[in-house]
Chain A
């Protein structure tokens, strides 16, 4: 049977896809690799194992993991509320969720720093209540990263929740499951793959985030210095090869982590019979 396609022409669309991928993604990424090749393996290794570089990798990846995990939980609750409950101003709230997508990240960083600094509206209160400082400490980085990661989680979980048939919950309840059991056995397995996608997107975005973090981090070497800042530092020293070397390591690590997350997702889907 001849197959009919909705999109006109397989060849032109494939051609366009390849051209687009080559111009926008592959060439720039290979340029990154080529620039790095100016370094000898010893130099590359020296940059990679530099204590300060390692410390910043720890800060960047640690803060991003933590922030993405918190964003995943908060995002789930927000998505749940938005999908399940009618309340006045819901449309408005729904629109607000996307703000971090549109807002220049530097603006977000400056605003967050102003709020969370020791004398700021929120920071003052937290310092008094818990005796901890948020802004200009690693905690500040996490706050900024939750902010930019949250919409990724909400927007990936929301459609799945909308499609989720509440009859399944009712069926579980009629079979004698209490609410907690219904949540754990029925709702969670259905939501988990999209929650993991949201987590992965938020994480990937956080690892490379510069604008919002730089204003709230304090940028102290070994403590709150993120990898993107070190890349800028190398560029300021006209060390293009060094900067791209860090960029390349970052690219590889992020790719590896996304790969792990994707396999995890695939595994969960298969286990819960969604394939």
Chain B
């Protein structure tokens, strides 16, 4: 290619790019975490259509995905997110506390504590469940190899850890017993990946471990990707409610003039269409009556703890368990 033609192609590409940008009147940015990519791809299409019908305005929604902690830090450090849809309320609390971009009581602004959908922690085992894993105590048995990411670097892994802890406390009656139980469980972990997707790869592609502790939606996604014949989801009788909050970042939407759009974007998640999409993408909807019954069948009933009820909220759980010299560090004392 000569310099002239390559310049022409470049200009043509730029023109297409510019016209695409000009096509939408306003754009909002949704900063989310890894496993919601497919959900929001679907959802954004529906929302853009809904907004066009309602107001006649063409809008665009950009998505940004990555590990929840990294995404949160990016927002604190200046990534201009109009809305965030993250894995832990603790992360959004940190945006409020460290960057003061939204009020402290953000969680009361939308129905169900700003949780349009939730999930839970389940087990993924290999075909036929050769180690016969049914409940949390099976994970601490000798000869069972457990895959889970490092709770110090992964928000999702903190749910895994707390779920095991809650089980231990309930079953063995005391905090000390729970700690012993969790310690035994983590002795069975041969690899601590730094994120949830890394652990899924370790379990599925490397074939390491007998059981993967994972989010329910991530487990279903793995079944969908790698074939249901290879793996099975085991739902323990008790687990933790994984609460995935959403909120508008006030300072950014006021600066960008996108508050109406951003608020409508999150409210639409609670609409029948939003709830249906959420269930289709393996999250448990806030109002199951709007979801497809076929999708709902996949979510078995189980006893669910919440972080608030069991651990007194994220701030306390974080401090007690995951900060330096917390219980997780104590487990690994040599």
Contact = CB atoms under 8 A, between A and B. Distances in A.
Interface string A108-145: 00100110011110000000000000001000000000
Interface residues of A, number: 28
B153 A236 contact: yes
Interface stretch (A86-94, A183-191, A213-221): A213-221
B317 interface: no
Interface in A214-238: 214-215, 218-222, 229, 232-233, 235-238
B115 to A, nearest CB: 22
A214 B332 CA distance: 19
A52 interface: yes
Interface in B28-55: none
A236 B152 contact: yes
A110 B198 CA distance: 10
Interface in A30-78: 50-52, 55
Given A52-B329, A136-B190, A232 B205 contact: no
B73 interface: yes
A50 B205 contact: no
Interface in B306-325: 318, 322-324
A218 B153 contact: no
B194 A222 contact: no
Given A114-B205, A214-B194, A232-B194, A219 B73 contact: no
B260 to A, nearest CB: 31
B98 interface: yes
Given A51-B334, A117-B208, A215-B198, A220 B98 contact: no
Contacts of A136: 190-191, 208
A220 B206 contact: no
B177 interface: no
Contacts of A120: 206
B207 A119 contact: yes
B57 to A, nearest CB: 37
A212 to B, nearest CB: 13
Given A119-B206, A233-B152, A50 B192 contact: no
Nearest to B207: A119
A242 B152 CA distance: 14
A117 B206 contact: yes
A221 B332 contact: yes
11 contacts: A51-B333, A51-B334, A110-B201, A214-B194, A219-B150, A219-B194, A232-B194, A236-B69, A236-B152, A237-B323, A242-B324
